[in-house]
Amino acid sequence: MTTPGRRLAPAELRHLFLFEKLDDAQLDWLAARGWVVTHPAGEPVYVEGEPATCFVVLLSGTVSLSRNVRGDDVEVSRTDQIGVYGGATQAYLGDQVPQLYNNTMHAITDVEVYELPAAEFGPTIRQWFPMAMHLLEGLFFGMRNINNVTAERERLLALGSLSAGLTHELNNPAAAAVRATAILRDKVAGMRHKLAMIADGRLDGEKLHSLVELQEAAVKKAGNATKRSALQTSDAEDTIGDWLDEHDVTGAWDLAPTLVAGGVDVPWLQAIADCIGDLDLEPAIRWLSYTIETELLMGEIDDAVARISGLVGAAKQYSQLDRGPFQVVNVHELLDATLVMLNAKIPNGVRVITKYDRDLPNIPAYGAELNQVWTNLIDNAVSAMQGNGTLTITTSLDPTGGCLAVEIADTGPGIPPDVRPRIFEPFFTTKPVGEGTGLGLDISYRIVVKKHHGDIRVTSEPGDTRFVVLLPLHETA
């Protein structure tokens, strides 16, 4: 509960850096309208979203400023510097903007603040400093519009790039599934035709039963076929082609690749000949060939669908759509999902190496925001290498033991020494006009440092640039 206190004398107000250049009449005005208010530790001085009724100046103690992000109170700064201010900081704009507190100030320790009523303070400031107010208005609205447009462009560029990459990645397995399905339909029709030829009365029931058993064996062979080298495959096709020619099977060299892909060998073919006899050997082999090819095509469809499912799962992991904003997350899953989403943007000349410490624990974090950090750092690294190089992603336990470390390194030309101090500045970019907004590293810094209470460190020299993201292993109060 707030406790209204005494008024401050003009001489006391002059000791606050905000008021030290005011004249005596202005200090008298402030002294007559403000008062000292005390707040015990743990109590909010003011709350985000409520009407901004007071301009607040810190006199003693420690306060924190926080913003509400998706229902969570996220601390953005903490200070005990006497004279810092907050509250109705936009009172000078009057009715041009909603007069609401745009953050929450908490008393970390017992604090004293000096409060001025916003309804009187705002108009008076405009009267005292008319030119300054015009400049501030232009700066406020101009920067707000620039920030909104640029941030929206950054999000749209990232979304467009990721969407294009995901579309490309999904198109390949989807096209493979469509192609395999079309071929499968033809093969099934051919298998029905050959079965009719086999069973038109020339095969007795016992032989037909044996042929069905061989068909089941063919399915198993196709499912368990081992991969051969190109040379081994060629030799096997020659051997089977020769055997088929010797037994007067037409189109032997068309049948051989399918039979080899299904794991068929000469002894197995001889078993069919012994079962069926030479008279019905060709339609039987063709029927079994269709069976093998059908099984291989279904395997292709299964692989394609699994790939699509994996991509959708990666997109879901990347966006964290099914999770709350703050959860215990597996950093390796987040990194892998980001690499899948960015796969289409990584040139063939860039080699990606991951060195994960799988013994690292899960950590409490904002998963979707961390994916944005990985996206920005990986995209910058890939761009720096200009199509050729090595991207290395390493996870480890920080030597201090309190943080998980994610290192993203590239073999690009490095960051020039005169540029390095500015890389985290908003709107600063070394990319050509139209190719970068200069917000990627600024956003990453705010997510890691301000939101997760971690750190981002960078070292760079030609051929070796490393960004290290440190994330606390446990939730920070």
pLDDT for 430 equals 54
DSSP string, 18-49: TTTT--HHHHHHHHHH-EEEEE-TT-EEE-TT
Q: In whole numbers, what is the pLDDT of the chain averaged over residues?
A: 78
pLDDT-based confidence at residue 182 (cuts at 50, 70, 90): confident
With 70 as the cut, is the pLDDT of residue 49 above it?
yes
Q: Which residue has the higher pLDDT, 98 or 81?
A: 81
The alpha carbon of 53 is separated from its chain's Cα centroid by a whole number of angstroms, namely: 40
Least confident of 150-164, 176-190, 244-258: 150-164
pLDDT for 399 equals 84
Report the alpha-carbon distance of residue 115 to residue 36 in Å, rounded: 6
Domains of the chain (ranges; CATH) run 3-128 (2.60.120.10), 167-310 (no CATH), 327-472 (3.30.565.10)
- The SS3 call for residue 87 is strand
Least confident of 107-111, 144-148, 381-385: 144-148
With 50 as the cut, is the pLDDT of residue 437 above it?
no
Annotate 304-314 with b (16+ C-beta within 10 A) or e (fewer): beebbeebeeb
Q: Which residue has the higher pLDDT, 167 or 12?
A: 12
% of the chain surpassing 90 pLDDT:
17
Contact 424, 441 (CB under 8 A): yes
With 70 as the cut, is the pLDDT of residue 210 above it?
no
Per-residue model confidence as pLDDT tens digits over 257-267: 888 887 778 88
Q: Which of 267, 269, 274 is nearest to 292 (CA)?
A: 269
Q: Which of 6, 108, 1, 9 is nearest to 60 (CA)?
A: 108
89, containing H or E segment:
none
pLDDT for 355 equals 94
